[in-house]
Structure formats: C-alpha cells, structure tokens
C-alpha cells in the first residue's frame, strides 16, 4: 500500500509540474517573436514526453499487478525463500540461488507467462532492475497472447 501511495503522490506532483511547464510554454508562444515561439514549442515538448512516460509506466504497473493478482489466485506466486541480513536486506548469494532456479524453470517453459513473472521477481530480488522489467514485459506479452521476440 505504501508503494501505491508513493506512486500516486509522485504522479500527482509530476502532473502539476507538467501543467506549470506547459503554461510557461504557452506564455512564450503567446509573445509572438520567432525566438519565444521556438522556445515555447521546445518547452511544450517536455510535458508531452513526461505524460507519455508516466502513462506507459502506469499501464505497465497495472498490467504487472493484474498478473500478480491472477497468479496469487492460482496459488502460483513465488514463495519468499530468501535469506536476509540482520538489517533486513536480501542476501546476494541467496538471491542468486533463487534466480538460478527461476531461470532454469523459465528455460524449461519459455512460453509460460507464470515462469517469466517469477523470473522477473527473481531479477528484482537480485537487484537487476532492467532485466526484471524486460522479463515482466515478456510475461505481460505472453499473457496477452502477443508475439514475443527472441
């Protein structure tokens, strides 16, 4: 729940920022000189890119959460079998061992979105966020029946 609240607060702050930046871009365009119109157009690009980025990330999170809910309903969520340090952090060797198991499971069933979901969790636990995101994107694509590149 804490993550959702943080996400929504961050998204709200970004939307306010996009509105402020967009209004400045419009004000520059309204000045009417070649220089201010050029700068105004350039400034308006930033909120467009930001809104697109926020939208894509929100869709990704919604789809990943839907997969997690479906997997939870099936009883297929990965069990937390990780060793933790006294401070609560995940032990790297433990994360690597679980990752190896999840990778082997995914290699055995490369078309199963459930395996890719669990692999994404293992990547995340091993602190490899880019690969975790790619694995989750693949799980989403497989779940939706979309073609997945090799």
Report the C-alpha gap between 45 and 29 in whole angstroms. Answer: 13
Report the C-alpha gap between 11 and 3 in whole angstroms. Answer: 12
**What pLDDT does 2 receive?**
87
Alpha-carbon dihedral sign for residues 84, 89, 91, 96? positive
Q: Is the predicted pLDDT of residue 147 greater than 80, yes or no? A: no
pLDDT tens per residue across span 33-50: 999 999 999 999 999 999
Average pLDDT value for residue range 109-132: 92
**What pLDDT does 79 receive?**
80
Report the C-alpha gap between 120 and 129 in whole angstroms. Answer: 9
Report the C-alpha gap between 138 and 146 in whole angstroms. Answer: 9
> What is the band of 148 on the pLDDT scale with cuts at 50, 70, 90?
confident
Q: What 8-state DSSP symbol labels residue 127? A: T
Q: Is the predicted pLDDT of residue 149 greater than 80, yes or no? A: no
The pTM of this model reads 0.79
**What pLDDT does 150 receive?**
52
In this structure, the chain runs to a length of 150
Furthest-apart CA atoms within the chain: distance in Å: 64
Q: Is the predicted pLDDT of residue 114 greater than 90, yes or no? A: yes
């Amino acid at each position: 729940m804490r993550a959702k609240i943080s996400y929504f607060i961050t998204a709200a702050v970004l939307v306010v920022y996009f509105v402020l930046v967009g209004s400045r871009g419009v004000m520059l365009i309204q000045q009417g000189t070649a220089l201010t119109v050029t700068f105004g157009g350039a400034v308006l690009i930033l909120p467009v890119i930001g809104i697109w980025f926020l939208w894509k990330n929100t869709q990704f999170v919604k789809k990943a959460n839907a997969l997690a809910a479906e997997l939870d309903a099936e009883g297929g969520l990965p069990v937390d079998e990780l060793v933790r340090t006294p401070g609560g952090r995940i032990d790297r060797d433990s994360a690597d061992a679980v990752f190896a198991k999840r990778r082997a499971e995914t290699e055995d069933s490369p078309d199963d979105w459930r395996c890719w979901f669990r692999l994404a969790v293992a990547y995340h636990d091993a602190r490899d966020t880019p690969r975790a995101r790619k694995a989750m994107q693949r799980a989403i694509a497989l779940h939706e029946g979309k073609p997945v590149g090799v």
